[in-house]
Chain A
């Protein structure tokens, strides 16, 4: 996007003797017309017709000169014909009305006219139409832009600002119209809450009024957000509306992407007032984002509140400013640089070309925050809802009625004991272990609540999950109720809102609202009941009446609706709360009333975290779970304990709130306001007509049940609640989490466990057959989707002709299971067994003892063939990466996708601490996202890093099955991954919240089919192998997986069962009675598993596969990969809920007949590592015979992951010990690309004169790095950014000296490296478990969050450092002890010697004056472990802060 090149156009048009009017008196439209001339002329005539009626006149059309030889095949096929339309203002238009706004309305009328003649966006598209800006864009790589649009390489083209976008988009299949930049912005990021934002925008449209736009004009603009656009295009529509309706660009973007303003986030009161006022008008467009915006007159950029996409700028002395996601994009000689820096999370920057000034964050924000007295408006109009439990409600008395209610709403004993009681007693969600082997709700014979048919979605690769505990400061559950005013105006009464800290309302809150006298908060209650008789008609009419009465009530002036299933009349049944909420929310949205209504649901059905997430996710404003509260009050009337019901209810609400924050953080969403109605769910087993009517936009890929079956299930619960017989005085036990004979069907049963264990111990084929038969023929006990699959009839072949079992066994892997979640003995048995049969075992995320890399004398090997790289990076060193056949990037795990993990201190014994490079007793926290993967480009970067860290290993990426995983897989395949693992939601885990195990992710059958189809359609399938895992147990499972596209098969839980696991499901409490999942030495002694058992299992499994192959008529497993056409639904299993399940989408074969459906080994692609090979060549004999070596070499932004391959060769030869210090010395000059010196081995020293990008010293393994600016620069080094974000991520050893400031998350998850730096951004030292960090300058917020080990020394000039520090796990002390002072001084001395840093010199010179200003950040756990903690201090149990 450029500002109008007035001189260029004037010259070009003069050649065809047309003269342009004065600047900004004419406008230029860039238009993509249909390539087919007939249609193009039709489009032109429509456009000209609209222009005439809009008070402007056509000056001329110009064919935009293009050179299509430069662009790719698909781009050429869909290339439009590109023309420019010059318009001039008619007389009467000239002065009064703003020309840009006129053009905006004109463009919308053109788009609508074109749409009517079905020349929609895909055929004809107005790229830009403005008197100030023009956009040259297309399906082009950045390098092709200037060559394709010859205008751009024309010397005459003089412009003052340019906004360029280059991205390999994975969101939607790329098209010319959806390429970026758009009309007002370019967006590098994702909007996780897009569906919610669109629904809210559509709901507000009817209440738009503005002095600047007439009613008719507004009507023309609607709908604001176009159909079928990418989320960036929608953001552009919203930005255009806000800006052209009277708000400045920064003001508009600050509304759409607000900073975190709640709680103890220290921003100015006016700014907090601004954000709180606007929170009532617009919910955040939440997600990782770096947005550049311009209106042709000025240009700026903003980052999202988490700063998950980088933005670095350089300003030169001759007033050139470059802002990009990497530094060194343009080669600017260092001496010309006036200033360098980067945007911090939530920060904004604005270049006003007219004033010729750069407005930085604070100045700009105060300017905008003080345009109106927002702060005063808010304090005057806001009403706080206190949300407290005053007393136990008197009605909780009658146990008879309580039991009847609990049965009516499907309560079970298990739910009360395992979930509600845990939350009421501990204030935390219950934790469980092992996967979910129970029947899928759609296949279960037990009556299910409507909630059970939905699964949570979560962020994978393209947008990272957030840590809801250590980065809680950025998150908010604040809820507003009341009349959201007209978005286009700024009036005090827009702040007239009821505000509550939490979406969970107590019974008291409901009473306050019901009797509120305040007119704008009058509440009407609508009952949710209907005469249940198991027939669909009654429920259907009940819902119809409900939504009509909702509409009537709102129109009668009740802005708050309370949908309630309390005190249902005798004989009536409750309407499912989720169905009611979604139906009412959608209906009010259609009739434009939703924005102004508070929708509160008072329901007995909600009690688990997932229930609240669903109700809020489909539009509820707040939830009052009155029956859950009543159940909690009855919990403590047991014979003995007398705990206080109020405390129990408060604990319960706290646990639910933590659970909600976790669910939102899994999707990378920070605020409840944007999570609401964003429908971040997928349905499994609900038919399309039902979804389209009540849950429009929710994916549901296999059809299933509708209103009829749902009313039948309600009827079943109704009948149970009516039972009088004395034997019916108990709730059912249900057996969903722990096996019960009368409960939910499971695949792991006493028979299957013992049959399998005896079969492998005795290598007994028919015992294996008995085990396999129960799992394969699920007619009596349907559990998995594949239980309903059947193979088509084919002509069999002889069993002898089928490939041998030993060949098939090579396709088996045992799933990643960290040493730490399972015992040393179990972990090693897996490795030995898999290495023997040519399969692969997986180290999991806990690192591995280096001694296991050495093969045993008898030829066996304990070395895990697959080394996993997870977000914790525990034990991920150069040596770890060098010793394996496959490196697996764990994006997420089936049982807890989008969540981090925690190994509590008391479990970290000496051996685990050694392998994870930490200290015993220190808690090890792994963050939800990889902090070096915030986008698909970052993942491609990490893949490149790992290819350097081990050139022989193949790189795999582990994803979890959900809707959209196919698109992510396509991005991963494009990023040069060699294998993609699709993990089912039911996979195992060492420890995970029960709600995650049960309610997140989808069965692998869906994810695998989607991945296979997407890769085949994008012609990427031949580039990668696909693996699948998740409750795989038999040969038939593997055969079905192969047909759906999998080349390899993973087994984790089943392998543990063969080693003795009896499904105790107590892995998380370290008390495994069979020594499989425990570190307790006494229990480990009981481990009697042997590698032979695993081998027997896999051989019998392979034999079963051979039998199936023979029956199907294939001699090679490879031949059935991708042959989903061989599958069909087994109609014989007549079960009422599964009869209209439709698997056609799953079995569909896509692409042409010849398009490859499986991995084709000839096409393994090579990544370009020429620069790094050169480095290795140079240092060849230094490595061979440990000779000292010096070298000076220049470096550029495109030289990435420099030094990693060198480290590979060093550790391959010398192991972790590496070379003596400073053996190999390289001095680079220039700006280094991403991941500079990643995994640098001991003995290598890198000096960088210039600057570095992100991920410097990632996984540092002993090397030394010095970064300093060139001598000639004028700017003061300690004030300017010299390196990017996420430095020293997961470093284990080594030293770093940086003469300058760095970005966010410095030394995150560092477990041993030492570093000195002169200024850091937010979240410094997060999750640190060891090492020493010295900060000589500024720090950002949330310093030391989750820091359980190591020490940081921070120079606290203003003495306000503790405000920026997350004090949950650390103490702050002055540096008083002798060895601390010596250590600090020595590090600063080193810093000075290596970088000649003026600041270091200054500090050393007057050491006495500076030392008192240093603060020592000392983690409590680390102190305890180092024995420094005074004994008494240790004894005080660390409780939660006392809540009054």
Chain B
């Protein structure tokens, strides 16, 4: 570790592919740094006495300074061993994680943070390239079996962890393909789906069984699982999208973002689409909702050569740099610009949609009004008021609702297993994430509500440990 590198060497981020070229396809937009550049960037890590990246940044508590040092010394094999000891699928997180580690990095206090995500990506891809990552099925089997419902990041992590401990794991997925929102939510230009298949093949060679196209609760009864397996883990995610119940919501061409994105992902991998195709080609598209989902809709719409794309957000425009209300090392309240935003879309803040208008039952106009926000003592927005006669309207022929998700739609499951739920329908779980049904656990978005891949995986590791302890008693 070169002591002064964090100042002598500037932070270097890989750019995205040329705009004109990348909007023509669904390949991943982010380029990679060379091995030499990565070693140099890794030398910027100061191996802190308290590594805030590890201590308060990364939900997986990755041992970041240790593999930064080993990458700098080109000891790739040892670095990979340490990375995989805390992160089951670095190839996923290093592509789509918002990298809370970097916003907590000490170097970021006055200088630029260490490019942790890039180092993680190069390291895992080097591992695959050099065949350091080979299937190693557990030497002994414990004879215990566990059923995992849902193959999103949370479910896959639970499966991988318990398999390593020697238990037999079977993963049920209602979709045709494995991966949950990794597969059907996050667009290909952020996460190439072959990356998922590469990992699933590996897991299968290590003895994990995947049952595709099986909807637990309809195809197989949940009670059946309970009898046949020593433990059941529900990792069904939080798919129910939040609706926008304003006048003329019934008009055609108003869709939930997920349906639009899911179709695009299927199209890219050649999976057949049952329902009607939602296409943004030649359309004036309005995306309501400023989060990841909204930005993915923008990117997808642009790639479908929409005539124009506007993204509306009800919240105020966040500051350019870290807001004082969220001091280092917290996750900063700050304006973020994704690769999709830079591909040609108009972003507007403080806009509240009032009603839709349409011609022959199809959307043609959106009427909205401007709002003003008050900030709390930390300087963060908490109460809003409509600004009188500030109404404005937008011509549009496709509305995509990307306002997040309200929670899992698991009524069938909860009834089948008679799981106690709270008044908002969320499953009640104890300290070890076990539901009221003995041996039935939940993990990921289903218990935390819509969150991030890295949080889902971190929760998966904890719950896997609890399941292991539960079945080993």
Contacts and interface: CB of A to CB of B under 8 A. Distances in A.
Interface of A: 413, 417, 434, 638-641, 724-727, 729-730, 733, 738-742, 748-751, 753-754, 758, 1062-1066, 1069-1071, 1073-1074, 1080, 1082-1083, 1086
B329 interface: yes
B110 A741 contact: no
A742 B56 contact: no
16 contacts: A638-B78, A639-B77, A727-B165, A730-B81, A730-B82, A738-B47, A738-B50, A739-B55, A751-B56, A754-B327, A754-B328, A1062-B49, A1070-B3, A1071-B4, A1071-B46, A1082-B7
Given A749-B55, A754-B329, A413 B66 contact: yes
A638 B73 contact: yes
Nearest to A724: B139
Interface in B103-124: 106-107, 109-111
Contacts of B166: 725
Contacts of A730: 81-82, 85
Contacts of A1066: 3, 46, 49
Contacts of B332: none
B210 interface: no
Contacts of A640: 73-75
Contacts of A750: 50, 52, 55-56, 329
Contacts of B69: 417
A1082 B55 CA distance: 27
- Interface pairs A-B: 10 shortest CB-CB: A1065-B49, A750-B55, A750-B56, A1086-B110, A638-B75, A1063-B49, A739-B50, A1069-B3, A1063-B50, A1071-B3
A1063 B75 CA distance: 27
Main secondary structure of the interface of B (DSSP, over half): loop
Contact of B138 (A726, A741, A742, A1064): A726
B127 interface: no
Contact of A725 (B47, B61, B109, B138): B138
B80 to A, nearest CB: 11
Contacts of A740: 54, 63
A754 B106 CA distance: 12
B164 A725 contact: yes
Contact of A1064 (B7, B48, B77): B48
A434 to B, nearest CB: 7
Interface string B227-249: 00000000000000000000000
A1074 B328 CA distance: 13
A738 B76 CA distance: 22
Given A639-B74, A738-B49, 13 more contacts: A638-B75, A733-B66, A739-B51, A749-B55, A750-B56, A753-B50, A754-B56, A754-B327, A1065-B49, A1066-B3, A1071-B46, A1074-B110, A1080-B4
Contacts of B55: 739, 741, 749-750
B140 interface: yes
A1083 B50 CA distance: 19
Given A741-B55, A1062-B109, A729 B48 contact: no
B65 interface: yes
Contacts of B139: 724, 726
Contact of A724 (B6, B82, B140): B140
Interface range on chain B (Cβ under 8 Å from partner) = 35 or more
Interface in B5-24: 6-7
B81 A1062 contact: no
Nearest to A741: B61
Given A638-B73, A639-B75, A1071-B3, A738 B110 contact: no
Given A738-B50, A740-B63, A1073 B110 contact: yes
Interface in B284-331: 327-330
A738 B46 CA distance: 12
B136 interface: yes
B49 A727 contact: no
Contacts of A726: 136, 138-139, 164
Contacts of B327: 754, 758
Contacts of A738: 47-51, 65
A751 B328 CA distance: 12
Contacts of B73: 638, 640-641
A639 B330 CA distance: 37
Contact of A1074 (B50, B82, B109, B165): B109
A738 to B, nearest CB: 6
Contacts of A417: 66, 69
B208 to A, nearest CB: 14
Q: Which of the listed residues B48, B61, B81, B165 has the most CB atoms from chain A within 10 Å of its own CB?
A: B48
Contact of B54 (A639, A741, A748, A1074): A741
A1073 B47 contact: no
B164 A727 contact: yes
B138 A1062 contact: no
B376 to A, nearest CB: 14
Interface string B28-64: 0000000000000000001111111011100001010
A741 B52 CA distance: 10
A991 to B, nearest CB: 13
Contact of A739 (B6, B49, B74, B107): B49
Nearest to B75: A638
Contact of B46 (A754, A758, A1073): A1073
A601 to B, nearest CB: 31
A118 to B, nearest CB: 59
A638 B49 CA distance: 25
Contacts of B52: 750, 1062
B88 to A, nearest CB: 10
Contacts of A639: 74-77
B106 A1062 contact: yes
Nearest to B82: A730
Given A726-B138, A754-B329, A1074-B109, A749 B85 contact: no
Interface in B319-369: 327-330
A647 to B, nearest CB: 18
A1083 B7 contact: yes
Contacts of A1069: 3
A1295 B110 CA distance: 50
Contacts of A1063: 48-50
A1066 B55 CA distance: 18
B56 A1062 contact: no
Q: Which of the listed residues A729, A740, A751, A758 has the most CB atoms from chain B within 10 Å of its own CB?
A: A740
A733 B63 contact: yes
Interface string B368-379: 000000000000
A25 B107 CA distance: 88
Contacts of B49: 434, 738-739, 1062-1066
B64 to A, nearest CB: 11
A1073 B56 contact: no
A635 to B, nearest CB: 11
Interface string B195-226: 00000000000000000000000000000000
B65 to A, nearest CB: 7
Nearest to B165: A725
A740 B49 CA distance: 9
B42 to A, nearest CB: 14
Nearest to A1080: B4
A730 B165 CA distance: 15
Contacts of A638: 73-75, 78
Contacts of B82: 730
Contacts of B61: 741-742
Contacts of A739: 49-51, 55
A1070 B3 CA distance: 9
Nearest to A1082: B7
B5 to A, nearest CB: 9
Contacts of A1082: 7
Nearest to A738: B49
A1073 B50 contact: no
Contacts of B138: 725-726
A863 to B, nearest CB: 30
A1063 B46 CA distance: 12
